[in-house]
Amino acid sequence: MEETLARTSEEDPCVVGVSCGSSHSVALLSCDVVASWGRGEDGQLGHGQADECLAPKAINALTDAGIESVVCGAEYTIAVAPSRGQVYSWGWGDFGRLGHGDCNDVFVPRPIEFFSGRPVSRVACGDTHTLVVAADTGELFTFGRNQNGQLGLGHTNDCLSPQRVVALQGERVRSVACGSEHSLAATESGAVFAWGWGRYGNLGDGESQDRYLPTRVVGLEGVRVVSAECGWRHSAVVSEDGRVFTFGWSKYGQLGHGDHLDRTRPCQVAALRHCRITTVAGGWRHTMAADSAGNLYAWGWNKFGQLGLGDMDDRSVPTRVATGALAGQQVALLACGWRHTLCVTATGRVYSWGRGVNGQLGHGEEQDLTEPTLLSSLSRGQLRRDAILATADGDTDTGLYVAPADRYAVVPGADEPYGNGSAAVGAVPSMSLLDVQEEQQQQQEQHALVEAGAGAGGGEEGRSPKKARISTELH
């Protein structure tokens, strides 16, 4: 979540930002409170326990902390407090995605030491990796899992601490996005770069292969891109004049082109050509967009009603969402989880729909909803600071949960080789692969190989029990 609404007085608070993880949700309130709900097994709610929350609950540790943006990864969360010069992370820590230099789960928000005192403008979270943009320089830092090169460092070793993406030297990054295992960055010059897992064409470079370094997205000549967004295996970019281009995986119609064909290059979504799109959000297999008039559109997978159209039928072209309580409302903010969706209207009303099995919709129950449903406890006019703070019943800091013995993460030492595949470079700005590897190696000399039991490297055989379980649940 990067965009926020204008803040209101403490006497009339409202939600100014929302973000969704795989099965949890987070809201930033104008009264300096952050609330979370949904699945909490891995600590991603920040309440100090591993319990689910079926309704929004304030995160004690972040109250009055000056938080201005909150972003969810699949099973973890990151918050930025510019006034304090802090970036906090918590949740599932496998592969170093929390940036604390280890693989521990964290159950309450913990500052990332690397970013202490450093201004941060943008954060994006994937399944297991994280991107952070420095506000003063526009430089990009990455950490977490790197099996498919999604960190953009020229190799495939995981990183437990933030590393600068040297290959983007000379570019100022303005927007970043993470898919499951791929990454996108839009720069101030209007260019877009992609890297990581690319076998469905989701990197937009005309190929279907992984890239270990940022590679220029092709086919956008003359188009100035202002924002990038990723779904699980698909990508979308929005141009300055409000056009939407999508590419990657389209098995469920999530690209919006009226078919189920993957695209390896950006293709404009024709059904939205008469709209000026301002916001796009990508879920696991679905996509949502809002235009300048506040109209909401949905397409892709709809097994749990996450499109908000009142049914469970997939759509391969953008379809206007005008059902249920959202009818006639103007959407200002939008977020997609793997199988659920949230939005905030211009009047401060919050709606949720889709999969609700873990309470991620926030309505106090575990029921799927096929239409946008008002989340009254967070909606303007009914939201009260004292009431939401009362939900935080004394967070219990359980400290760090050390993962089972067969969970691991790898950070290369100075004498260890980089990667184990062909690093396809593509159109990388200004630096050769050798230059990048040399500088990245210097950055990582202070780290050692970290193992917690069985195996090393980034192969699927080394996946943690939780990772394997989640994959089984989703299919």
For residue 457, CA distances in Å to 95, 147, 149, 157, 433 come to 10, 8, 13, 7, 21
* Least confident window among 35-44, 206-215, 217-226, 398-407: 398-407
The percent of residues above 90 in pLDDT, for the chain, comes to 77
Question: What's the whole-number average pLDDT of the chain?
Answer: 86
Q: Tokens in use for 321?
A: 């969402």
How many angstroms separate the CA atoms of 30 and 9, rounded? 7
Q: Are 302 and 288 in contact (CB under 8 A)?
A: no
Give all strands of the β-sheet with 192-196 in edge-to-edge order: 173-178, 182-187, 192-196, 211-216
pLDDT of 254 above 90: yes
pLDDT of 474 above 90: no
CA neighbor of 414 nearest in space, from 444, 438, 435: 444
Which residues, 6 or more positions from 409, have their beta carbon under 8 angstroms from its beta carbon?
94, 95, 96, 103, 145, 158, 160, 450, 452
Question: What confidence score (pLDDT) does residue 392 get?
Answer: 86
Question: What confidence score (pLDDT) does residue 11 get?
Answer: 74
Q: Are 284 and 274 in contact (CB under 8 A)?
A: no
Rounded mean pLDDT, 177-197:
98
Q: Which residue has the higher pLDDT, 405 or 198?
A: 198
Q: Give CATH for domain 15-474.
A: 2.130.10.30
Phi, psi of 439 (to 5 degrees): -70, -40
Q: Are 413 and 394 in contact (CB under 8 A)?
A: no
Length of the chain: 475
Which residues, 6 or more positions from 124, have their beta carbon under 8 angstroms from its beta carbon?
71, 130, 131, 176, 177, 178, 183, 230
How many angstroms separate the CA atoms of 414 and 447, rounded? 8
Count of beta carbons in the 10 Å neighbourhood of residue 144: 28
Count of beta carbons in the 10 Å neighbourhood of residue 472: 8
**DSSP string of 327-383, one letter each residue:** TTPPEEEEEE-SSEEEEEETTS-EEEEE--TTSTT-SSS---EEEEEE-GGGSTTT-
How many angstroms separate the CA atoms of 362 and 375, rounded? 7
Question: What confidence score (pLDDT) does residue 406 get?
Answer: 37
Residue 430's pLDDT band (cuts 50, 70, 90):
very low
Which amino acid makes up residue 380?
A: R
For residue 248, CA distances in Å to 30, 79, 175, 235, 362 come to 36, 29, 19, 6, 31
Q: Are 166 and 436 in contact (CB under 8 A)?
A: yes
pLDDT of 460 above 90: no
How many angstroms separate the CA atoms of 84 and 67, rounded? 9
Q: What is the pTM of this model?
A: 0.85
Q: Are 143 and 151 in contact (CB under 8 A)?
A: yes
Q: Are 215 and 436 in contact (CB under 8 A)?
A: no
- Geometric angle at alpha carbon 346, from 343 and 352, rounded to 5°: 20
Q: Which residue has the higher pLDDT, 423 or 274?
A: 274
CA neighbor of 199 nearest in space, from 434, 457, 421: 421
Helix (H) or strand (E) holding 80: strand 76-81
Rounded mean pLDDT, 332-337:
98
Rounded mean pLDDT, 280-300:
98
Q: Tokens in use for 248?
A: 């990657």
pLDDT of 245 above 70: yes
Question: What confidence score (pLDDT) does residue 391 get?
Answer: 87
Rounded mean pLDDT, 449-466:
34
In the chain, where are the structural domains located?
15-474
Rounded mean pLDDT, 215-232:
97
Q: Are 155 and 164 in contact (CB under 8 A)?
A: no
How many angstroms separate the CA atoms of 470 and 399, rounded? 24
Alpha helices in 269-339 (DSSP H): none
> Residue 287 gets which letter from DSSP?
E
pLDDT of 397 above 80: no
pLDDT in tens, 366-386: 999 999 999 999 999 989 999
